[in-house]
């Protein structure tokens, strides 16, 4: 007999197991939580763009800059709040496949660290440096090439994650715990 896990149950499960890496997570728990993160991210982008559209014609530039900074800080707080349960559900999903949870560092944390570095470079001092027009083609290539490599690496990790986490977990108990889907009747 299989017990169904709904979207709400999956999100609640991930937040209730915020720091828990022990045990196993079924596919629906992982993918529903991933969908939840995508929905939250889209809502943030939409609200941020609406906010910017309303703010620019009305407010002074310093107020807009302050609000943009506040939205950026809010984004990174949101990233950290969602990254922890996403990391732990990733570890538990790997456990369901009887894989080592340390692989989650490569699949989850490392791309987000690179994303943060790229964000601060593109949005921070690096943005002024790139758009200044003072760069030679070789200097520009030296900046753009790592960005392209990062994007290719990030896409490769995404493809690996999709293939790895779409596969079913091991049936029955494994070295990380009982099967989260099948209820074994005695």
pLDDT tens for each residue of 75-100: 889 988 998 999 999 999 999 999 99
Q: Are 64 and 55 spatial neighbours (Cβ–Cβ below 8 Å)?
A: yes
Of the segments 38-42, 129-133, 136-140, 181-185, which one has the largest average pLDDT value? 38-42
What pLDDT does residue 47 have? 82
* Encoded tokens for 60: 């002074």
**What distance in Å separates the CA atoms of residue 42 and residue 47, rounded to the nearest whole number?**
9
| pLDDT over 50 at 114, yes or no | yes
* Encoded tokens for 66: 């302050």
Q: Are 98 and 174 spatial neighbours (Cβ–Cβ below 8 Å)?
A: yes
The model's pLDDT over 145-168, given as tens digits with 9 standing for 90+, comes to: 777 888 888 888 889 889 999 999
Q: Which of 44, 19, 43, 17 is nearest to 29 (CA)?
A: 17
Q: Are 125 and 69 spatial neighbours (Cβ–Cβ below 8 Å)?
A: no
How far is it between the farthest Cα atoms of the chain? 74
Q: Are 84 and 104 spatial neighbours (Cβ–Cβ below 8 Å)?
A: no
pTM of the full predicted structure?
0.77
- Greater model confidence, 23 or 69: 23
* Encoded tokens for 173: 């108990």
Which residues are within 8 A (CB) of 62 and not within 5 positions of it... i.e. 6 or more apart? Answer: none
Neighbours of 8 (CB within 10 A): 10
């Amino acid at each position: 007999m299989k017990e169904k896990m709904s979207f709400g149950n999956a999100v609640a499960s991930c937040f209730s197991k915020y720091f828990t890496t022990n045990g196993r997570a079924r596919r629906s728990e992982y993918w529903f939580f991933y969908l939840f993160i995508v929905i939250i991210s889209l809502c943030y982008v939409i609200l941020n763009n609406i906010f910017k559209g309303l703010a620019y014609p009305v407010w002074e530039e310093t107020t807009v800059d302050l609000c943009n900074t506040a939205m950026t800080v809010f984004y990174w707080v949101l990233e950290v709040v969602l990254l922890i349960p996403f990391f732990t559900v990733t570890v538990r999903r790997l456990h369901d496949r009887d894989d080592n949870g340390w692989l989650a560092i490569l699949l989850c944390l490392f791309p987000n660290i690179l994303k943060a570095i790229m964000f601060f470079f593109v949005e921070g001092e690096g943005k002024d440096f790139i758009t200044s027009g003072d760069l030679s083609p070789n200097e520009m290539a030296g900046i753009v090439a790592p960005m392209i490599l990062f994007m290719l690496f990030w896409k490769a990790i995404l493809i690996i994650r999709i293939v790895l986490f779409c596969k079913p977990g091991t049936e029955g108990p494994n070295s990380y715990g009982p099967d989260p889907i099948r209820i074994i009747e005695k």
